[in-house]
């Protein structure tokens, strides 16, 4: 391993400008913590986006008109399913 000093912490890559050149260099240990935190954040964001998407799909397809059984089953799946994968699986089984 090379014993030269590598700067860690925030710095600016000036050739890219102040905003786009803003950089943070982390040690291997702290980069692992950052990666884990980003992974958890993306998981929560994905779940929230799916909740909004399924509510929107449910509301777009809602109507007061009489519909067939398949439509009502799709609405029930969108309303009651938990995860995106679970919903996709149930909707796939509905088409078979």
Higher pLDDT, 1 or 89: 89
pLDDT over threshold 60, residue 3: no
**Sequence spans of domains, the chain:** 9-95
Helices (H) and strands (E) counted in the chain, each on its own, are: 3, 2
pLDDT in tens, 29-68: 899 999 999 999 999 999 899 989 989 988 998 888 888 8
Residues 55/45, Cβ–Cβ less than 8 Å: no
């Amino acid at each position: 391993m090379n014993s030269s000093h590598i700067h860690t912490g925030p710095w600016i890559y000036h050739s890219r400008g102040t905003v786009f050149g803003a950089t943070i260099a982390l040690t291997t240990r702290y980069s692992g913590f950052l990666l884990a935190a980003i992974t958890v954040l993306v998981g929560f964001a994905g779940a929230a986006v799916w909740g909004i998407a399924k509510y929107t799909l449910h509301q777009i397809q809602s109507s007061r008109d009489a519909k067939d059984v398949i439509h009502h089953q799709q609405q029930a799946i969108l309303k009651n399913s938990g995860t995106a994968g679970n919903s996709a699986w149930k909707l796939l089984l509905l088409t078979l």
